[in-house]
Amino acid sequence: MNEYLKSMISDKTFNEKIQEIKETHISYVFLTKKHAYKIKKDVKFTFLDYSTLEKREFYCKEEFRINKLLSHDLYIKVSPLVKEGDTLILSNSGFPLDYAIVMNRMPEKYIMRNLIEKNKITIETIEDIALKVLLFHKMAKVDSKGKYGSLANIKRNVFDNFKDLECFIGDLYSNDEFNTLIRKNLEFMDNNATLFEKRVKKSKIIETHGDLHSGNIFVTPKDTFIFDAIEFNPGINTTDVAAEIAFLCMDLEFLGRYDLSKAFSDKYILESNDKEILKLLPFYKGYRACVRAKVNGYNAAVDNAAKELTIKYFYLALKYMEEL
């Protein structure tokens, strides 16, 4: 969706009053009392391409497919947007100008991160999330050829993070600390090449959620909903299940909830009988912490909060290296 089409969005579009509009660098989300309508922007970056109508249609349907497996009752449908007069409406009749993912709206008070801050997430809840993630993994596509699970690809992803973090040496952390992070990662990957190869052969490289953290989970009195899985780049979301588990563990530990992190990983490992995850967890938690440091680093020059988060995630990644 471009700015011209966005200007054609009104209450008539959804036949509901728009209460709020949220915007990211890749999408708009129009919120009504009962629903959320997500529309992808007409953008192209190195990591995604939504630059044509056909691609936006494809990725809307991919996002719906993946997330429907995780939260069946949250995701309703993908609907074309067609022109009627001077506005856009949801309709299956007419020529589509764009597409919207239609979802049931959940109150933000139920976002897991908000509930953690109020100490309202229990061990029982986190174990239930582990079971939901495991069930999702059992239904997911497997990277049987090892295209994304190869050690070469893992190294490429790890060093992509380092390239983006290198510019902060001397400002946010020292050269010695940065070099220690690189050395520890490289040593672990080289010393465990056989393990990484084994993970591919054992079908542990799958199409995961890709962005599993407490900001993408609703915990309501009736059920738990995991949402907003990555669909736009298989190089990001096709990874070892251990990397998926590590993401939420790292996020929970960043929030100071080591008890929830342990309960989550313990339950997943117990029910999946995948004990190799234990050896891989510190490595992948470090990788995920570096990703968060990198993402926040993009705004560090103009946003002090982002700068502080970059520092915190970097040192969390360094801490995980002590566990390898």
Q: How confident is the model at residue 153 (pLDDT cuts 50, 70, 90)?
A: very high
Q: In the chain, where do the E strands start and end?
A: 20-23, 27-31, 35-40, 75-84, 87-90, 98-104, 205-207, 217-219, 224-226, 238-240
% residues pLDDT > 70 (the chain): 100
The whole-number pLDDT of residue 300 equals 87
For residues 115-124, average pLDDT: 97
Query: How large is the average pLDDT for residues 52-81?
Result: 96
Domain annotation for the chain: domains and CATH numbers: 3-105 (3.30.200), 112-321 (3.90.1200.10)
Confidence tier at 145 by pLDDT (50, 70, 90): confident
Amino acid at 39: I
Q: Please name the residues in contact with 204: beta carbons below 8 A apart, sequence gap of 6 or more.
A: 149, 240, 241, 242, 274, 276
How crowded is residue 1: how many other Cβ atoms within 10 Å of its Cβ?
23
Mean pLDDT of 58-72: 95
Q: CA-to-CA distance for 147 and 151, rounded, in angstroms?
A: 10
Report the range of poorest mean pLDDT among 125-134, 146-155, 176-185.
146-155
pTM of the predicted model over 0.85:
yes
The stretch 124-148 carries a mean pLDDT of 94
Region 281-310: mean pLDDT is: 94
Mean pLDDT of the chain: 95
Is the pLDDT at 147 greater than 90? The verdict is no
Residue 301 has pLDDT above 90, yes or no: no
Token representation of residue 113: 């991160």
Query: For position 17, what pLDDT does the model report?
Result: 97
Instruction: Supply φ then ψ for residue 105, to 5 degrees.
Output: -90, 135
DSSP letter, residue 142: B
Give residue 52's pLDDT: 97
Whole-angstrom distance, CA of residue 320 vs CA of residue 192: 17
Does the pLDDT value for residue 102 go beyond 90? yes
pLDDT in tens, 188-204: 999 999 999 999 999 99
What pLDDT was estimated at residue 284? Answer: 98
Backbone dihedral angles phi then psi of residue 174, each to the nearest 5 degrees? -85, 165
Confidence category of residue 90, pLDDT binned at 50, 70, 90: very high
